[in-house]
Structure 1
Amino acid sequence: MKREITLICWALVISFAGSLPLGVLNISVADYIFHHDVAGGIGFSIAAIGVEMILVRIALTAVKRLETMKRFYPLFGILTITLLMVLAFNSLFSANSSQGFRPSPLTTLPPEVAGFLLSVMNPLHLPFWIGWTAVLKSRQLLNDQPSSYNRFVIAIGIGTAGAFVLYGIAGHYLIGLLGSQQVLLNYLIGITLLVTALLQFYKTFCRPVIRTRWPRSQI
């Protein structure tokens, strides 16, 4: 029982802390609350968190099967890069034209749809949690039992929800503060998304070539 409680606590803390840095998802939650759309903020959060939990659960049980899909990785990479570039240039265009802060053009969609799409497009879910899964397994806190996986995923969802609630509570203050720096904020988000797209391009197309030319031990 002690190990299960420790696992849940680790997952809660990691998920909560990992969701605190400023990003499109948590800023979107704050924006919904700022515009007095509590129902929209809740719907957006549920959809975004649900996607994260599903992706982590699939990754935990299907890592070996994912190996058989390597030939599709470049296609997935191209789609992710394209979406990130569109979002990046939207933010940079808004900054350049001195338009008001917009968390994402997708937030004009129904909240549940926007939350689903933005969470699906987040390229950090799987690398982040696969890395922490390896750490927790090395500490023998997480095992391969379905019950252990389920506790882990539920705790992840609760931790992320806690961070979103914090952003929702601070929504009026946060958006008001950021609103005074609209152009700067759009530039920061646009540059962040652009750098993420370039990193994704490197991981998808450049790093495999480097590993093919040089032995892994030299990388």
Structure 2
Amino acid sequence: MQNLKNIFVGFLVSFIGSIPLGYLNVVGFQVFQKSGLQPTIWYLLGVICIEFLVIFFTLIFAKKLAENKRLTKYIEGFSVVFMLVLASVFYFGANSKTDYSTSFDYSPFVLGIVLSCLNFIQIPFWTGWNLYLLNGKYIEVSKSRKYFYVFGTVAGTFSGMLALILSLHYFATNVDFLSKYLMQIIIPLLFLGLGIFQAIQFFRKYF
């Protein structure tokens, strides 16, 4: 029963956490638009391979990572800059018709691994969530039970990202406004807004 609870809690947290639009989802959407479902699945498998390692190690070292304020500050500062860079990259890329799913000479699986490695913000995200779930006794990770929790989280990420990618494809195909402005305006503005929000939070926290 505890193993099922670990899977359910991990799946729920990760599914909800993967739905907000991020660059991994945007590139996954481009892979789907360009190549279809099977390459998209391989791309997502590459993403969750790295996430599996991140979640596993942040689960084991959650308390030590949370106490390392300097590391957290650097990661949060980097994520602010990264969001602003992404806003510029996707804005100018959309207007120049750049397809980032084909900008790398990699298979979709390797592309997912490479881009997931650049997603540094997942370290404080999972450190915080793991601490919360452990302290609240929502999960129990002794012995092999930790693997059931991590399996639930990567399954949640895979499902959430695939659901968002398919939803984006549906709306972009059937809604004229989204088909025209999703990549050119909406997504760059979203990343810009996230970058500004994170910058405000960063300066409030550290200055």
Pairwise TM-score range, normalised by the shorter structure: 0.7 to 0.9
Does structure 2 retain, via aligned residues, the 8 Å contact 1:48–1:116? yes
Identity level (%): 23
State the partner residue of 1:9: 8
Letter in 2 for 1:198: A
Matched, 1:45 2:44: yes
What are structure 2's unaligned runs of at least 5 residues? none
Picking from 93, 102, 123, the partner of 1:126 is 123
- What displacement does 1:64 show? 5.2
RMSD, aligned CA: 3.2
State the partner residue of 1:179: 179
Instruction: Provide TM-score, normalisation by structure 2.
Output: 0.75
State the partner residue of 1:217: none
Residues in 2 aligned to 1:195 and 1:166: alpha-carbon distance in whole angstroms:
27
Residues in 1 aligned to 2:66 and 2:20: alpha-carbon distance in whole angstroms:
31
- What displacement does 1:139 show? 3.4
What are structure 1's unaligned runs of at least 5 residues? 211-219
Residues in 2 aligned to 1:101 and 1:150: alpha-carbon distance in whole angstroms:
39
Q: How many residues align?
A: 201
Residues in 1 aligned to 2:186 and 2:26: alpha-carbon distance in whole angstroms:
11
Letter in 2 for 1:108: S
- What displacement does 1:194 show? 3.1
Q: Which secondary structure state, in structure 1, belongs to the residue aligned with residue 35 of structure 2?
A: coil
Residues in 1 aligned to 2:96 and 2:134: alpha-carbon distance in whole angstroms:
47
Does structure 1 retain, via aligned residues, the 8 Å contact 2:172–2:179? yes
- What displacement does 1:162 show? 1.2
Letter in 1 for 2:148: R
Matched, 1:155 2:156: no
Letter in 2 for 1:122: N
Q: Which secondary structure state, in structure 2, belongs to the residue aligned with residue 112 of structure 1?
A: helix
Q: Deviations over 1:46-66 (max 9, x none)?
A: 111111121110111123554
State the partner residue of 2:112: 115
Task: Between 165-174 and 143-152, report the one with greater CA deviation.
Answer: 165-174
